Amino acid sequence: MLFKTQLALFVSLLAIEICAAKNPKRGLTFCSSNPQDILKANQTTSVISWQYNWGNSPPDYLASSGIPYVPMQWGAGGITNFSTVVKAQKATSILAFNEPDLAAQSNMSPTDASKLWQEYIQPLKTSGLRLGAPAVTNAPTGREWLAQFLGNCPACRPDFIPLHWYGDNIGAFYDYIWAIHGEFPDYPIWITEFATTSSDDATVLDFMKQTIQYLDTLDFVERYAWFGFFRKESGSHYNLLDEHGEVNDLGRVYLYS
């Protein structure tokens, strides 16, 4: 009887350990058009600890997934309601302004963004939320935009800087992270979109393995999220799911290792 009791306790503790073995940095960019795909990411064996979908409030299938959701104020639209929406879901961190340096994305000047930030984003800090700075691209315009935003708006006080990076050179990725950290050393970094643009599947897999292992060692990188969690499309090589919604080789590494 004692042996059975000890065995049951061991199994219970093992189950708890498996369920709790999340990577506090690793997040999910949910961009799948199939709601049921989230079930691949919230298994007890998944290491995913947070998610976002570029929206300010999670749809039911993400809200009920058990994966903490980070809301985003994507652009200027609907910003007057952002505080109410965020507080209702009891968020702890927020993201704001997606790629404002890009005309095809939120497309804001640093001046316009700072005005909106001071009126609608900065006040959220009094509610205990951690605030993410605008997430710029890794184009030269992005770094310049961020420097203007932070340099010309002393009242804009984000808690961390989100970054996006796409390219085909792992060394360039590392250099970019360190360059941003060197220029803005007081801010932790979240890498909320990153992937290699290589069209060779083996190269993409190797890039992922090396980068997530490296990011886990950097104290100033608080979180990161590979782009992206979606099914294979024509020409895509960085998707975590195949065309049927099953986890592929990339997904197995990212979700479960």
d(C-alpha 47, C-alpha 152), whole Å: 39
Residue pointed to by tokens 């959701």: 69
Tokens standing for 84?
Answer: 């109410």
User: At residue 63, does pLDDT exceed 90?
Assistant: yes
**Residues 81-105: pLDDT tens digits?**
999 999 999 999 999 999 999 999 9
CA atoms within 13 A on the CB side of 87: 12
The set of residues, in sequence order, having a beta carbon less than 8 Å from that of 62 and lying 6+ positions away, is 30, 38, 51, 53, 69
pLDDT at residue 6 in the model: 45
Calpha distance 106→73 (Å, rounded): 10
Strand order in the sheet with 72-73: 72-73, 93-98, 130-135
The per-residue pLDDT for 106 is 98
- Which pLDDT score is estimated for 253? 98
Strand order in the sheet with 26-30: 50-52, 26-30, 221-229, 189-196, 161-167
Number of domains in the chain: 1
210-221 tens-digit pLDDT: 999 999 999 999
Domain of 242, CATH number, reads: 3.20.20.80
What is the arithmetic mean of pLDDT over 163-190? 98
What's the chain's average pLDDT?
93
Q: Is residue 1 part of a domain?
A: no
- 14 in a domain, yes or no? no
pLDDT (0 to 100) of residue 97: 98
Instruction: Check whether 8 has a pLDDT greater than 80.
Output: no
- 11 assigned to some structural domain: no
> Coil, helix or strand for 162?
strand
Check residue 50 and give its pLDDT. 98
Assigned domain for 242 exists: yes
Chain segment 132-161, per-residue pLDDT in tens: 999 999 999 999 999 999 999 999 999 999
Q: What is the pLDDT of residue 113?
A: 98
8 lies in some domain: no
Neighbours of 141 (CB within 10 A): 14
Q: What is the pLDDT of residues 9-57, one digit of tens each?
A: 343 434 444 454 899 999 999 999 999 999 999 988 999 999 999 999 9
Which has the closest alpha carbon to 49: 9, 17, 19, 6?
Answer: 19
Domain coverage including residue 209? 23-256
pLDDT, residue 19, reads: 53
Q: What is the pLDDT of residue 234?
A: 85
